[in-house]
Structure 1
Amino acid sequence: MRLLRYAKGYRRQIITATMCSIINKLFDIAPEILIGVAIDVVVNQESSFVARLGFESPQEQITILAVLTFFIWAGESLFEYLFQILWRNLAQRLQADMRQDTYEHAQRLDMAFFESKSSGQLVATMNDDVNQLERFLDGGANALIQVVVTVVAVGAVFFVLSPLIALLAFTPIPLIVWGAFFFQRKAGPLYSDVREKVGDLASRLSNNLSGIATIKSFTSEAREAERLRDASEAYVEANRRAIKVSSAFIPVIRMAILAGFLATFTVGGMMALNGSLNVGAYGVLVFLTQRLLWPLTGLAQVIDLFERAMASTKRILDLLEVPITVKDDSTTPLAAPVKGDVRFEAVSFQYEASQVGVNGVDLHVPAGNTLALVGATGSGKSTLIKLLLRFYDPASGRVLVDGQPITDVSMHSLRQAIGLVSQDVYLFEGSIRDNIAYGQPEADDAAIIDAAKTAEAWSFIETLPQGLDTPVGERGVRLSGGQRQRLSLARALLKDPPILVLDEATSAVDNETEAA
């Protein structure tokens, strides 16, 4: 139901694709009926079913059936093309939108959420889990619809031709449906566990690749390889348990199908021999029994896809439903021009499940002034920065910029007024130019170079063969710690914010550069 609520904007595409699947399946089962009619024409000729429609010549009847067959096959091909296009495009569109929605929602969540979740788990949800849903929509949804249409359409034909044989042919279906729900209940929790193990594995890979330098420096390659192997084996074992349950469904279905087919074949044959059933009708019933029951063998694969998709969908929707605690309700910007006056009034804050925080802080930094906060590690210096940027909201008290409570202004205007140079420098994969201009994408090279000179970064940039176009690598791995910090400082200076916050921003640079 949660997925249906999310997908309500795609209702028209879903209905159109479903109709094409239904029409395609109706065309698909029609040739078996025509075969039975053709047998009837050959056996009964002038007294056949088609003859009763006004076409007495057997040759004319066969010609009509041939023309009908052509149009039926053409119609089946057309609607197969349409449902393939519609379902696949719907799958791609829903996949892209769901991934975008989860990412945008995650961006609005407070930092406490990211501090309690691993990036690998989140990437697995936004990527692999979304892909699982796309795989089901790409093939499983159509297969499920066509199974239902086959049962209904073929059942209608059966009851018209012979209610007795219809009852015999349909006897296995309750067992098959019961088996489907039984295995669904068994497999559902197992596939949820599979998705969790995928997230754990992705998290382990992400952490190890991000920390590869630390792993190498502590010669921990063997230990980390073993931990990754354990995570991989846990995923394999979870999949093995799920596959064991889902695979058991196929033999059960096959035996049920055999029972239904033998009943139709035997009883129908006896009825045809004693003349109570038309030979052509018997042919239709035999062919349609296959059409009715054989597609149900694919139900196991469809249920497998469905369970994987539903387990993934639960994780996606759980993420989408995480409440936004630090809310950006205001559209009011900071009053221009922003001067940069910062005030903390009796501000208290505590992290969840931790005593670390700040208590009753009163602080005033007039516009244009510089204030240095000095204290022991964990005394709350970085916490004040997070409160100023509204990464968190204080438990009590308030923070003001230019006399305006920051909860009364939009986050965009607040953060536009602040330049942060963190002790944990993050550079994006791209060029030096891209990273310095990250906050001001429209900046020209002259402004970028000026900011780099002010941050004492130009001296090393101009020695590089590619200059500003030099790739920095993922997280800036191609640069030294000091070079990364100077680029981070240049990025903040180019933004030219009214409020500049340095959080141990020069911890990795030399004394001469820091003094400059």
Structure 2
Amino acid sequence: MHPLRRLFGYARPYRGDAWLATLYSVLNKIFDVLPEMLIGVAVDIVVNRRDSFMAKLGIADPLQQLVWLTGITIVVWLLESLFEYLYAVKWRRLAQDLQHELRQAAYGHVQALPPDFVTDARSGRLMAVMNEDVHQVERFLNTGANDLVQVFVSSLLVGGVFFVLTADLAALAFLPIPLILVGAFWFQKKLAPRYAAAREAAATVSNRLNNNLAGMATIQAYTAETFETEHVRRASDGYRARNADAIRFAAAITPVIRLAVLVGFVATLLYGGWKTLNGDLGVGTYSALVYLTQRLLWPLTRLADMTDLYQRAMASVNRVMDLLEAPLPPQPTGILPAPVRGAVDFEHVVVAYDDRHVLHGVSLQVPAGETHALVGGTGGGKTSLLKLLLGFVRPAGGRVRVDGTDVADIAPRELRRHIGYVAQDPFLTDGSIADNIAYGDSAPDAARIEAAARAAQAHGFIAALPAGYASEVGERGSRLSGGQRQRIAIARALYRDPAILVLDEATSAVDNETEAAIQTALREAARDRTTLVVAHRLSTVRHADAIHVMDAGRIVESGTHDALLARDGAYAALWRLQTGQAG
């Protein structure tokens, strides 16, 4: 489907505004063309006096004719200015409204997609779509749409006047237009893939910069500044080369169009002058036609800028629409039966990514109120089980139930509001500590915030900060240590008082002393709620009700810490590797 049709289809609620803006543009162009005709009338009055065109309308005195013409000119200019103001306001407001709507819709759509979509699509590319591409659409609506409307209307109006006054001269004046249009469409066809490639290259630059800014500490620690500067240079060179390829074509449009315009203008000048000298055409009419030839043909020189802007915008429209049309996962509407106990049951679940199986028929029951741990080497499938529970991925086979209800039938928001989730690399929003603990709560409770912080062993360091709970955490929590960020994330999970607590390496970034304190707090927090823990440090889960060892997408051992050590299997080998002890 053509990108313009895709945009019009999406912008259906704004069609009334678009039509009104178009009307203002048309009326402005009508009153913009009239002054050239009034110049011809003025010349006609001065040359023919009582035999002028206005004399035939009943105004015999030449001076009165000029007075009337002056009044008409003032009215025409005022109306032209009025409609220029109206179309500028309407088009720009439409551009602002639509870019706001597109950006909000694109971001909202991304939020409704699984988290893995952002990773697969590259966050830098998504940022380029939601910022640069949306802005490109706004630029087109700000100026390009009005230019296209006015060039079309101007051609119709001036062409109509030409054919009324002298058809043979009109034919000469219009002779270059087919060549101009064919050339413009040919350039458009050549420009479209070049601008699409340029937009992709711009997204690559954005992704590289975004990635490097996030990892600046690592870049500097490894003295990799020159290495990464070269990466950025290559990405920027790629964008520059693709943009230059498009610019070479875009820059050629104007000179070609100017040559075609010259042909039409010279034809009017010579042939119209010859007819006037022979008395076949009035002096006033000839003057008007010379001015109107410029009015007809000269705006076509802007086809270069219009084509350039149009093609950039259409490439951006396709990228934005492709994002908006990315298929959403099923959106069930079911709810969990109250009260939510938090019993979790994985029944023969299978998960595959690109035909690569990461879970092979795993079955696991976590009774309500118990703490179960998932341990094992990297790539064993532990995090995939958590993603299944959170509804981030759908099983290729089997089912996941919470309190006997299939997760596939539960609305994602309904499911997740009963789960407290702590990731290995916790996300903190750029706000205060209190904002982050009560994250997502429109009416935060200060007492609950402090209670959650105490439970997560975070109150001590928070109270020591100059602004306490009002202290800003910085972008992604940059003003806090890794352990402090982890404890804020744990406090955030506890603030929700969830029925199910999901901890994905929640103590990986804390020291031994802090870990011990957190473990004490978590044992209290886990009381009367289901807790599912992924851990590499086995010391953090030795008191769990059950520990499940995963390897290559399967559960190979299950039991308590003591029972697994007594079995002397995979868990016992991991324990000896980490502690050097037998039990």
Please report the TM-score for the alignment, with normalisation by the length of structure 1. Answer: 0.98
Could you tell me which runs of 5 or more consecutive residues in structure 2 were left unpaired when the two chains were aligned: 521-583
Equivalent residue, structure 2, for 1:473: 474
Determine whether 1:350 maps to 2:352: yes
Equivalent residue, structure 1, for 2:461: 460
CA offsets 1:281-336 (integer angstroms, 9 cap, x no match):
10110010011111111110011100100011111111111111x21132x22112
Structure 1 residue 69: Cα displacement: 0.2
Equivalent residue, structure 2, for 1:377: 378
> How do residues 172-211 of structure 1 correspond to structure 2 at under 5 angstroms?
172-211=176-215
2:331 aligned partner, one-letter code? D
Determine whether 1:213 maps to 2:217: yes
Determine whether 1:28 maps to 2:29: no
Equivalent residue, structure 1, for 2:502: 501
> SS at the partner of 2:375?
coil
After superposing the two structures, state which structure 1 stretch, 359-368 or 156-165, moved more. 359-368
Please report the TM-score for the alignment, with normalisation by the length of structure 2. Answer: 0.87
Could you tell me which runs of 5 or more consecutive residues in structure 1 were left unpaired when the two chains were aligned: none
| Separation in 2, partners of 1:472, 1:366 | 37
CA offsets 1:96-122 (integer angstroms, 9 cap, x no match):
001111111111112332231110000
Structure 1 residue 53: Cα displacement: 1.1
CA offsets 1:249-300 (integer angstroms, 9 cap, x no match):
1111111111111100011111001101111110110010011111111110
Equivalent residue, structure 2, for 1:115: 119
| Separation in 2, partners of 1:97, 1:82 | 22
| Separation in 2, partners of 1:387, 1:364 | 14
Structure 1 residue 2: Cα displacement: 1.4
Structure 1 residue 441: Cα displacement: 4.0
Equivalent residue, structure 2, for 1:338: 340
| % same residue | 54
Q: 80, 85, 96: which one pairs with 1:92? A: 96
| Separation in 1, partners of 2:447, 2:12 | 50
Q: 327, 332, 336: which one pairs with 1:329? A: 332
Equivalent residue, structure 1, for 2:153: 149
> SS at the partner of 1:373?
strand
| Separation in 2, partners of 1:110, 1:438 | 20
Structure 1 residue 479: Cα displacement: 1.1
> SS at the partner of 2:299?
helix
Structure 1 residue 353: Cα displacement: 4.9
Structure 1 residue 423: Cα displacement: 0.9
| Separation in 2, partners of 1:137, 1:373 | 54
Equivalent residue, structure 2, for 1:59: 63
> SS at the partner of 2:373?
coil
Aligned length: 513
| Separation in 2, partners of 1:384, 1:500 | 14
> How do residues 255-404 of structure 1 correspond to structure 2 at under 5 angstroms?
255-324=259-328, 326-330=329-333, 332-355=334-357, 357-404=358-405
Equivalent residue, structure 2, for 1:11: 15
> SS at the partner of 2:399?
strand
2:242 aligned partner, one-letter code? A
| Separation in 2, partners of 1:171, 1:267 | 13
| Separation in 1, partners of 2:455, 2:116 | 34
1:445 aligned partner, one-letter code? A
| Separation in 1, partners of 2:355, 2:434 | 41
Q: Is the 8 A contact 1:451 1:494 kept in 2?
A: yes
| Separation in 2, partners of 1:499, 1:293 | 71
Equivalent residue, structure 1, for 2:548: none
CA offsets 1:436-494 (integer angstroms, 9 cap, x no match):
11043423222111111110111111111111111111111111111111110000001
Structure 1 residue 90: Cα displacement: 0.3
Equivalent residue, structure 1, for 2:418: 417
Q: 84, 88, 113: which one pairs with 1:80? A: 84
> SS at the partner of 1:156?
helix
> SS at the partner of 1:507?
coil
Q: Is the 8 A contact 1:440 1:494 kept in 2?
A: no
CA offsets 1:234-254 (integer angstroms, 9 cap, x no match):
111111111110110111111
Structure 1 residue 514: Cα displacement: 2.2
| Separation in 1, partners of 2:302, 2:118 | 41
Structure 1 residue 337: Cα displacement: 1.5
> SS at the partner of 2:78?
helix
Equivalent residue, structure 2, for 1:135: 139
| Separation in 1, partners of 2:481, 2:115 | 27
> SS at the partner of 2:304?
helix
Equivalent residue, structure 2, for 1:427: 428
After superposing the two structures, state which structure 1 stretch, 173-182 or 442-451, moved more. 442-451
Q: Is the 8 A contact 1:439 1:491 kept in 2?
A: no
Q: Is the 8 A contact 1:421 1:488 kept in 2?
A: yes
CA offsets 1:200-242 (integer angstroms, 9 cap, x no match):
0000000000011111111101110111111111111111111
1:109 aligned partner, one-letter code? L
Structure 1 residue 412: Cα displacement: 0.9
| Separation in 2, partners of 1:340, 1:145 | 61
> SS at the partner of 2:345?
strand
> SS at the partner of 1:462?
helix
1:150 aligned partner, one-letter code? S
- Give the superposed CA RMSD: 1.1
Structure 1 residue 354: Cα displacement: 3.1
CA offsets 1:34-60 (integer angstroms, 9 cap, x no match):
110111111111111111111111111
| Separation in 2, partners of 1:350, 1:160 | 72
| Separation in 2, partners of 1:160, 1:146 | 21
After superposing the two structures, state which structure 1 stretch, 131-140 or 333-342, moved more. 333-342
1:236 aligned partner, one-letter code? R
